Structure 1
Amino acid sequence: MKSSQLLKGVLEVAVLATISRREVYGLELLELLRKAGITPLGDPSVYGVLRRLEQDELVTARLVPSTAGPARKYYAITPKGCTSLDAAEAEWSRLAQAVNLLLEMRREDG
């Protein structure tokens, strides 16, 4: 399975988890995700997720003037986003535990 297929399913959670730590602007978010090891990762993927999260009121955005060019759009998680992230974390833990169990059983059988 390609990592890009797995990434589609977890990118929203990764974005929310990153934003939950502090307010960030788009390019900074992309860099933080890449530093965390989430690759391959393109700008369109991240900005698409940010748009959906904003439409779903899971994050808010505000423009901040920049001395180094155009204004930057900063994103912050909302209370609704925190609730969604908590639910996603619980589901991720459950799913990861199940997959790990299946992989362990495979090793035992082999």
Structure 2
Amino acid sequence: MDQDRRAQWLRGVLDLCVLGLLARGDSYGYELAQSLEAAGLGTIQGGTLYPVLLRLQRSGLVTVYWREGGSGPARKYYTISAAGLAVVGDAAGQWAAFAGGVGAILQERTAR
């Protein structure tokens, strides 16, 4: 895939993807990056992910807490707020409609 195109797409949906993952359960930054990569979004660097998490926190969609690590230092965990859950709920339907429209356009073939 063209890396510039992928980066543009990712900028538009990374916030929602992070919220979607947090809707499944609390997580910390590295774990979120691994989940995003496993979902097929590619490698997400900390310099990209942590500003997203900070923006979500400042907007009240995510809260944070520290949890002691069993074999290392404490980790900063992120949890989705009620407002964040509402955003995910609204965005899910909007995304499905948008992606369906894009998919329909890209699948159309004309007889020329």
2:107 pairs with 1:104? yes
Unaligned 5+ segments in structure 2 are: none
* Pick aligned residue for 2:82 from 76, 79, 83: 79
Q: Which moved more, 1:4-13 or 1:64-73?
A: 64-73
List gaps (5 residues or longer) in structure 1: none
* SS, match of residue 51 in structure 2: helix
Q: 2:93 aligns with which of 87, 90, 95?
A: 90
Q: Secondary structure at the match of 2:68?
A: strand
Task: Indicate if the aligned counterparts of 1:20 and 1:77 stay in contact, CA closer than 8 A.
Answer: yes
Quick one: structure 1 residues 26 and 108, their matched pair in 2 at CA, closer, same or farther if it must change by over 3 Å? same
Q: How many residues align?
A: 109
Q: Distance in 1 between matches of 2:7 and 2:69?
A: 33
With 66-75 and 30-39 compared, the bigger mean Cα shift is at: 66-75
- Distance in 1, Cα, partners of 2:44 & 2:34: 10
User: RMSD between aligned alpha carbons?
Assistant: 1.4
Superposed displacement of residue 43, structure 1? 1.1
2:80 counterpart of 1:66: no
Q: Distance in 2 between matches of 1:60 and 1:87?
A: 20
